[in-house]
Amino acid sequence: MTSAWPNLSDLLLATDAAAPIGLVGAPLGAGSVTPGRCDLAPARLRAVMKRIGLYDIDTGRELGSAIADHGDAAIGDLDIEAATGPIRSAVKDAVRRHSLTVLIGGNNAVTRPGVLGMAEALGLPLDKVGLITLDAHFDMRGLENGLSNGNPVRALIEDGLPGRNIVQIGLAPWANSREMHEFAQGEGAATVSLGNFHGMGVTWTVDHAFECLEHVEAILLDCDIDVIDRSQFPGAPGARAGGMSVHDFFKAVRLFAAHRKVRAIDLTEWDPPLDQTDLSALTAGRWLAEVVAGFESRA
């Protein structure tokens, strides 16, 4: 370790280093239903890593997996359509080199190039790829007005991702439309509403998701941070009161990251300036620690 108090930043290595985990930033801000500065999230996450320790007192284990930082995809102020290629290419390169790729958005539109890049890196058709979302929303708005952070899942279906390869968890009341719900059901997507998640519990939900995706070979886990209760993550513009507790969120993330089929995990919809405290940043940093802890439990 390089610091007096071991922390997540000690795990970061240069992009060309051999490491089991790769980190890619995708500072996409364009095309958001709720305009903001989600493009600042990758830099904010890197900064807060110094405040997140490596030792888990509950398990008695210290994190030690190296993370190769690939930097940010060169997207500047590009719109979603133009930014899709660079993000997809960056994810493809990372997935080829690492057992797990962590993609930091940006708004939720980065999920689509994340899935496409993962599939391309592994040489898999989309019918062999799965998507699990922890999200308050379906993200199945129509495409008639172009790509946005409100329709990456629908766009992936249009790309050829079968609905039965999609599991959506944490869908919130009063935050979705009947049309999107019916579209998801019609496409065969598995959905677990926030109410059902609370009723059935974290472990059942995670097991259910993997049962639904037994037929796929690789999975991207999309962590739209607005699934968390807004009081516990005020930096998410789409978050609602009564959302998922951070305790359940962290537990679910660790369990999902422990599965070998999960080859990529993204974090999206964090708008740092919305939270003038450090609560949201520390929660995002803890998210990364849970991802690494889950990954290390694969062994």
Q: Which pLDDT belongs to residue 30?
A: 81
Cβ–Cβ < 8 Å for 136, 171: yes
Give the CA distances from residue 272 to residues 53, 64, 125, 158, 280, in Å, rounded to whole numbers and listed in that order: 21, 28, 36, 31, 7
Is it the case that residue 17 has pLDDT exceeding 80? Answer: no
Q: Which pLDDT belongs to residue 16?
A: 72
Is it the case that residue 138 has pLDDT exceeding 70? Answer: yes
Is it the case that residue 2 has pLDDT exceeding 70? Answer: no
Q: Which pLDDT belongs to residue 3?
A: 59
Instruction: Output phi, psi for 192, to 5 deg.
Output: -125, 105
If one compares 91 and 30, the residue with the highest pLDDT of the two is: 91
Looking at residues 86-109, what average pLDDT do you find?
A: 97
CA angle 186, 166, 147 (to 5 degrees): 85
Q: Dump the DSSP string for 77-117.
A: T--HHHHHHHHHHHHHHHHHH-SEEEEEESSGGGHHHHHHH
CB hemisphere CA count around 247 (13 angstroms):
2
Give the CA distances from residue 298 to residues 100, 117, 171, 211, 290, in Å, rounded to whole numbers and listed in that order: 11, 23, 28, 18, 13
Cβ–Cβ < 8 Å for 124, 217: yes
- Label residues 55-89 b or e (16+ Cβ within 10 Å = b): eeeeeeeebebebbbbebbebeebebeebbebbbb
Q: In angstroms, rounded to a whole number, what is the distance separating the alpha carbons of residues 188 and 127?
A: 13
Cβ–Cβ < 8 Å for 238, 34: yes
Percent over 70 (pLDDT), the chain: 99
Q: Which pLDDT belongs to residue 88?
A: 98
Q: Which pLDDT belongs to residue 1?
A: 44
**Is the bond leading into 53 cis (omega within 30 degrees of zero)?**
no
Question: Longest C-alpha distance within the chain, in Å?
Answer: 55
Beta bridge partners of 100: 21
Cβ–Cβ < 8 Å for 38, 226: no
Q: Which pLDDT belongs to residue 135?
A: 97
- Residue 253: band (very low, low, confident or very high) from pLDDT cuts 50, 70, 90: very high
Q: Which pLDDT belongs to residue 7?
A: 97
- Residue 234: band (very low, low, confident or very high) from pLDDT cuts 50, 70, 90: very high
pTM: 0.96
Q: Which pLDDT belongs to residue 46?
A: 98
200-226 pLDDT, tens digit per residue, is 999 999 999 999 999 999 999 999 999
Is it the case that residue 299 has pLDDT exceeding 90? Answer: no
Looking at residues 172-181, what average pLDDT do you find?
A: 95
36-67 pLDDT, tens digit per residue, is 899 999 999 999 999 999 999 999 999 999 99
Q: Which pLDDT belongs to residue 35?
A: 82
Residue 55, classed as helix, strand or coil, is: strand
The domains located in the chain, with CATH, are 8-296 (3.40.800.10)
Looking at residues 139-146, what average pLDDT do you find?
A: 91
Report which residue type is found at 202. V
Looking at residues 218-247, what average pLDDT do you find?
A: 97
Give the CA distances from residue 160 to residues 85, 184, 190, in Å, rounded to whole numbers and listed in that order: 17, 14, 17
Looking at residues 72-91, what average pLDDT do you find?
A: 96
Report CA Rg, the chain: 17
Other Cβ atoms closer than 10 A to 289: 22
Q: In angstroms, rounded to a whole number, what is the distance separating the alpha carbons of residues 43 and 46?
A: 5
Looking at residues 126-130, what average pLDDT do you find?
A: 98
Percent over 90 (pLDDT), the chain: 91
Give the CA distances from residue 265 to residues 3, 155, 283, in Å, rounded to whole numbers and listed in that order: 27, 19, 16
DSSP state of 172: P
Average pLDDT, the chain: 95
- Please name the residue ranges forming H helices in the chain: 41-48, 80-97, 111-122, 152-159, 178-187, 194-200, 202-212, 246-257, 279-296
